């Protein structure tokens, strides 16, 4: 059977309100911009991407996944992750190397799962999807791809991954604790689903072969009979 397409996961976050005067407005033309000046894709989402990438690598499943991260606007586009987050992850042996980018309309087509860090983040993603879908073709079920990161946690009860941007060192450690918990469960869930899909496909293939087997045998038997007739064998 042909190798299945990699499962694609996009981690998306929206940062805390940036500390700029209210009179400053974001001048970008992106449909994913928000009313206030916001930061994004420099703390939680790049950390989530790094944690999940590290886990996938350790499990030897790199070829089975496409992993990326994005922010809900492009204010920090092209920037590396927050150095405090990179340092905290590094202490756990995880390299946060992604470069910030805003979420794109094509992400709703290209990714199987889009993970939001908190409820507001999720609402902004869905709102952006709704606005963009009115302007260009996007999958009708794309909104079903958007899930909360903490919905995969098994060891923690938090509903959201908190933004550590203005907090102390413990805030970054807490984020990593939640991400490691969620990513492990997420990986197991996806692999179980992929395994079940493969089993179902294998069962279908066997069923088709079984259905065709009598036909194949009858042709084979007819061929033998014809050969025996040619050689005078009765």
- Structural contact between residues 45 and 161, judged by C-beta atoms closer than 8 angstroms: no
* 3-class DSSP assignment, residue 117: coil
Q: Which residues of 101-129 are buried (b: 16+ CB within 10 A; e: fewer)?
A: bbbebebbeebebbbbbbeebbebbeebb
Of 68, 118, 163, 181, the active-site residue reads 163
Of 44, 101, 122, 132, the active-site residue reads 44
What gap in Å lies between CA 13 and CA 48, rounded to an integer? 10
Active site residue 44: yes
The CA distances from residue 118 to 2, 82, 100, 111, 221, in Å, are: 37, 19, 18, 19, 66
Active site residue 163: yes
Catalytic residues: 44, 163
């Amino acid at each position: 059977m042909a190798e299945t397409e990699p499962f694609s996961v996009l981690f998306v976050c929206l940062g805390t309100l940036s500390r700029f005067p209210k009179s400053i407005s974001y001048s970008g033309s992106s449909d994913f911009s928000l009313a206030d000046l916001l930061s994004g894709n420099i703390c939680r989402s790049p950390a989530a991407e790094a944690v999940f990438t590290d886990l996938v690598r350790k499990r030897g499943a790199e070829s089975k996944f496409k992993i990326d991260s994005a922010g809900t606007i492009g204010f920090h586009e092209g920037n590396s992750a927050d150095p405090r987050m990179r340092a905290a992850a590094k202490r756990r042996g995880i390299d946060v190397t992604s470069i910030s980018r805003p979420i794109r309309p094509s992400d709703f087509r290209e990714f199987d799962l889009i993970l939001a860090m908190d409820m507001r983040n999720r609402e902004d993603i869905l709102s952006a999807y709704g606005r963009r879908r009115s302007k260009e073709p996007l999958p009708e079920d794309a909104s079903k791809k958007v899930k909360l990161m903490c919905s995969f946690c098994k060891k923690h009860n938090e509903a959201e991954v908190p933004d550590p941007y203005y907090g102390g060192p413990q805030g970054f450690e807490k984020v990593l604790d939640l991400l490691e918990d969620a990513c492990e469960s997420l990986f197991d869930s996806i692999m179980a689903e992929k395994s079940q899909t493969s089993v179902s496909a294998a069962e279908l293939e066997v069923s088709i072969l079984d259905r065709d087997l009598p036909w194949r045998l009858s042709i084979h038997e007819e061929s033998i009979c014809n050969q025996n007739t040619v050689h005078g064998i009765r």
